Amino acid sequence: MSSIQTVGIIGAGTMGNGIAQACAVSGIRVVMVDVAQTAVDKGLATVAGSLDRLIKKEKLTAEGKAAALALIKGSTSYDDLKGAQLVIEAATENEGLKVKILQQLDGILAPEVIVATNTSSISITKLAAATKRADKFIGMHFFNPVPMMALVEIIRGLQTSDATHDAVKALAEVLGKTPITVKNAPGFVVNRILVPMINEAFFVLAEGIATPEDIDAGMKLGTNQPIGPLALADMIGLDVCLAVMNVYMAEFNDSKYRPAPLLKEMVAAGWLGRKTGRGVYTY
């Protein structure tokens, strides 16, 4: 049983509403806050639609949907977060914005409230240092789509206390997730291994070693991945993959993180993957 009964979420976008759904389905109260009412409404509608799909698949009853939605309160006011034992920041991946939000939360939340960030790339230690509760600050990196993906990376900053780590880990388990504990470092665990693998696939492609289809088939069938690295790059966005490699290159100062020239070239062409209709493949 987690000591956390009410969770505040900042951001009603893809990650925020997914986390809200995971909490509500597990019987935890949620206050989901975004700057605009339209964003809040859209987030709530997304949760309702997602729960409807679960009903169709017979993984949820209509009563279960009603109970879950009743536990989510949408709001545009930070004051509504006062009853939460944990607040998860799931705003846009922008350090300045996140720092501003965290400092706003410091002014509203009681000192014992834990604050987590769902960042996938920003230093937990650095964000913690910008708050007045560095020991109660932690990374809680959910994977998209949140309701389906079992993994949560729990990232300890240098300052994170054991009690904070244990409380957040217990919550992840209540949500039916499998948490892994990670020290703060660029890319944490999954993206640190995944994105260089994608980058290497671009080197292999550029060297003409195999076609994109054969590279992806090889990795799918040879390593049991559900999607090949090049198709995955198109899904993530080639610009995002390149940005991540650039961060690793800057942070580690190690040439093994050199972005593949072909990846840079395709981003320069505006071939970013599914979102632009063309990446490695055409959509």
Which stretches of the chain are DSSP H helices?
A: 14-25, 37-56, 62-70, 95-108, 124-129, 162-174, 190-206, 212-223, 229-236, 238-252, 261-268
**By 3-state DSSP, what share of the chain in percent is helix, strand and coil, each rounded to 5?**
55, 15, 30
Q: Which of 2, 17, 50, 120 is catalytic?
A: 120
Residue 56: which residues within 8 A CB-CB, separation 6 or more?
A: none
> Which one is catalytic: 17, 141, 184, 199?
141
2, 118, 123, 153: which one is catalytic? 153
Active site residue 120: yes
Amino acid at 95: E
Q: Is 77 one of the catalytic residues?
A: no
Catalytic residue list contains 184:
no
Is residue 277 helix, strand or coil? Answer: coil
Q: Is 141 annotated as catalytic?
A: yes
CA distance 137 to 120: 15
Are 219 and 201 spatial neighbours (Cβ–Cβ below 8 Å)? yes
Residue 191 to residue 115: CA distance in whole angstroms:
23
Q: Which of 50, 123, 191, 199 is catalytic?
A: 191
For the chain, how many residues are written? 283
- Residue 181 CA to residue 213 CA, distance in Å, equals 35
User: Which residues are part of the catalytic machinery?
Assistant: 120, 141, 153, 191
